[in-house]
Amino acid sequence: MIELDDQQQRARAWFESLRTAICTEFEAIEAEAGSDARFEYIAWDRTDPSGEPGGGGVRGVMKGKVFEKVGVNVSTVGGSLEGDFAKSIHGAGEDPQFFATGVSLVAHMANPHAPAVHMNTRFLTTTKRWFGGGADLNPPMPYDEDTADFHAALQSACDAHDPEHYPRFKQWADEYFYIPHRKTHRGVGGIFYDHLESDWEADFAFTQDVGRAFLEVFPRLVRKRMGMDFTAEDKQRQLEWRGRYAEFNLIYDRGTLFGLKTGGNIDAILMSLPPMAAWS
């Protein structure tokens, strides 16, 4: 059992409460569509490389009428980072001991008109303490008004804390969520931030507001698009787009690498992959 200090406990409690709120909302959307789909929750434990207990988490997955596959995971892990990987983690080069807690979400939709999405927020402790995360929208068939609504919600969350946050974190997302070998972005962007460590209370409040903004805007977009008619060609376009998404997550995504390098639950780490994809 990992012993947590006050900041770590508060962060974990928030991420777990956000998970519950998001899952409740997604289940409500399924019910509105006439589906009885619900999340299946699977707890997992982690053993640190030292052999000591290293925390764990809960993997939540739902496969329904609206959400073809959505995963909402929470985890709280800690222990010691191994070898050269420790040197790549902020503040772990001097001491490989680490702690991480967070919530991670990826939703792949049944209707090609409804956008897929990724959201993750986290708190890490090494010799430093910082928050990171963000959210980005990944529509196979983009709608300008949906993109604008999504960005407006995130900008509002950012502007409430620092007017420099949104332009900085939007640019960071544009640079990060990019597939170099395809020379294309994986979606229409959002925000991405990391190593936020100027003021713990302020950074925690901002991270909470990012979660609240996501919870406010994304379900609204889903409800707008989930009942639209689509063709076989639309579905094929969605499947090929999912192939690009899978390429990014397997080759470039830092969260995937962190989970694998720290002995996380494989199914939870790879829940971001779509249930079906295609390559032309």
Q: Which CATH number fits the domain that encloses residue 100?
A: 3.40.1500.10
* Alpha helix segments (H runs only) across the chain: 6-32, 83-87, 144-159, 165-176, 200-225, 232-251, 254-261, 266-269
Average pLDDT, the chain: 95
Would residue 279 count as lying in a domain? no
Tell me which residue range forms the domain holding 146.
6-272
Would residue 1 count as lying in a domain? no
Would residue 49 count as lying in a domain? yes
- Determine the straight-line distance between the first and last CA of the chain, rounded to whole angstroms: 48
CA distance 207 to 253: 20
* Cβ–Cβ under 8 Å, residues 82 and 51: no
Which residues, other chains included, contact 167 with Cβ-Cβ below 8 Å and sequence gap of 6+?
Answer: none
pLDDT digits (tens, 9 = 90+) for 156-201: 999 999 999 999 999 999 999 999 999 999 999 999 999 999 999 9
CA distance 261 to 263: 6
Residues marked active site are found at 118
Residue 74: alpha-carbon gap to chain centroid: 10
- What is the pTM for the complete model shown? 0.94
Would residue 280 count as lying in a domain? no
Cα–Cα separations (whole angstroms), residue 59 to 43, 105, 119, 192: 6, 10, 15, 23
Number of domains within the chain = 1
Q: What is the pLDDT of residue 269?
A: 85
Would residue 14 count as lying in a domain? yes
Collect the ranges in the chain with pLDDT lower than 70: 1
Give the closest residue to 208 by CA, choosing from 165, 161, 167: 161
* Cβ–Cβ under 8 Å, residues 178 and 185: yes
Would residue 28 count as lying in a domain? yes
Cα–Cα separations (whole angstroms), residue 164 to 87, 155, 228: 29, 10, 37
Which residues, other chains included, contact 198 with Cβ-Cβ below 8 Å and sequence gap of 6+?
Answer: none
Would residue 23 count as lying in a domain? yes
Polymer length in residues for the chain: 280
Give the closest residue to 121 by CA, choosing from 96, 103, 142: 103
Can you say whether residue 84 is alpha, beta or left, with left for phi > 0 and alpha for psi between -120 and 50 degrees?
Answer: alpha
What one-character DSSP code corresponds to residue 39?
-
Q: What is the pLDDT of residue 1?
A: 55
Can you say whether residue 194 is alpha, beta or left, with left for phi > 0 and alpha for psi between -120 and 50 degrees?
Answer: beta
Would residue 277 count as lying in a domain? no
Cα–Cα separations (whole angstroms), residue 76 to 14, 154, 193, 195, 262: 12, 25, 20, 18, 12
